[in-house]
Amino acid sequence: MAAEVVMPKLGMAMKEGTVSTWNKKVGDSVSKGDMIASINSEKIEMEIEAPQDGVILDILVQEDVGVPPGTIICYVGKPNEQLTEQNSSANELQAPKNEVAATISLEEPPANAVPSKKRKETVLISPIARKIAESENLNVETIKGTGPKGRITKADVEKVLAERASEASHPPAEIDKAIKKETLPVAGIRKVIAGRMHNSLLNSAQLTINMKADVTDLLSLQREIKDVIQQRHKVKISLTDFIARAVVLSLQEHKQMNSAYIDNEIHLYNHVHLGMAVALENGLVVPVMQHAEKMSLVELAAELKTRAADARQGQLSTDGMQGSTFTITNLGAYGVEYFTPVLNPPETGILGVGATEDVPMYKGDELQKRNLLPLSLTFDHRVLDGAPAANFLGTIKQYLEQPILLLL
């Protein structure tokens, strides 16, 4: 019997998933466990496996089309197997439930929308497509839907926006022909990052301040204890682990930085859910260490390494990337010193860590070689001002320069 392959639910907050790529086409043979498609939600990408041996009988959801979790995207069955009427109508049976939840009434259009000549009409549209259309002042009645039963999807709205932008800024034909260029589609996790970072800059008042910390003693302490910690706890302690511990302790002293600006209110948190940016081949994800304030240095180091490994192997769930109250991003491995991190909304702060630098410095009357660590703090000026932000960064510097405090 033909097996249904459905759009999985990648976390409780997921409302829509998109097929990024079909690795197989109708009629192709597959074995159980073969990667037949790539799908993505707003925060994660994953591969879909064939549930059984057979062939792809039918593909119901095309690439770049968003559908709710649970929607059948294809069938896998025996060669020449005919889909029954029950199979072929499965998505249609699901449609009323999904469509009712995703419809909007145009009886009372928004004040800034293009007025409709019809007295009343119901348009099938996904929630995220509706949100984008309303924010861009699009008349949804004029958008042709490509989803089930003509449902307007996120991709449909984005196509209209792209066409509108192209019409407004297309270069003269003779210039366009003279330029050789390559055009890459913005899709999957790249599109998610682009949207979130753009919205972050549009919807907050970001300011970055810089400071250097002398980590000479900290690096010496790391060398002294790393073998003991490796043998006793099976954890390789790194400079990043010490920095994370310093940030957690500092956030507990500066509650205003451990906060979020939501709906014209400042939410202060007693817990510290620490986000750590991890670079992937095709983008960036931020695993979250829940209740980092309850962890020791060794526990925090172990959790950081586990979450980072999950992220690089594509095993990080959507829930594992939500709820952070503050984020750290480290570009030291790339030789970067100071930079301007972009806030991870709705957080108030993000710390950028650069590469350590050996510099000659006087300690008293003695000239010594010291290791300086560049720190860049971006914060939301709507929540706090420069002085308290500088005090917070100064507290991090103090912990890093007195590393024995990080072990207590």
Q: Are 147 and 126 in contact (CB under 8 A)?
A: yes
Q: In angstroms, rounded to a whole number, what is the distance separating the alpha carbons of residues 311 and 321?
A: 10
Whether 214 is catalytic is: no
How many other CB atoms are there within 10 angstroms of residue 120's CB atom? Answer: 9
Q: Are 289 and 276 in contact (CB under 8 A)?
A: yes
Q: Is 30 helix (H, G, I), strand (E, B) or coil?
A: strand
Q: Is 52 helix (H, G, I), strand (E, B) or coil?
A: coil
For residue 45, list its beta bridge partners. 40
In sequence order, what are the residues at sequence separation of 6 or more whose Cβ sits closer than 8 angstroms to the Cβ of residue 373?
A: 212, 213, 214, 215, 239, 332, 353, 354, 356, 400
Q: Is 47 helix (H, G, I), strand (E, B) or coil?
A: strand
Q: Is 280 helix (H, G, I), strand (E, B) or coil?
A: strand
The amino acid present at 57, given as its one-letter code, is: L
Q: Are 339 and 377 in contact (CB under 8 A)?
A: no
Q: How far is CA 77 from the centre of its chain?
A: 35
Whether 198 is catalytic is: no
- Per the document, the length of the chain is 408
Q: Is 358 helix (H, G, I), strand (E, B) or coil?
A: strand
User: C-alpha angle with apex 405: 399 to 408, nearest 5 degrees?
Assistant: 140
Q: Is 306 helix (H, G, I), strand (E, B) or coil?
A: helix
How many other CB atoms are there within 10 angstroms of residue 291's CB atom? Answer: 11
Would you give the end-to-end CA distance of the chain in angstroms?
62
Residue numbers annotated as active site: 381, 385
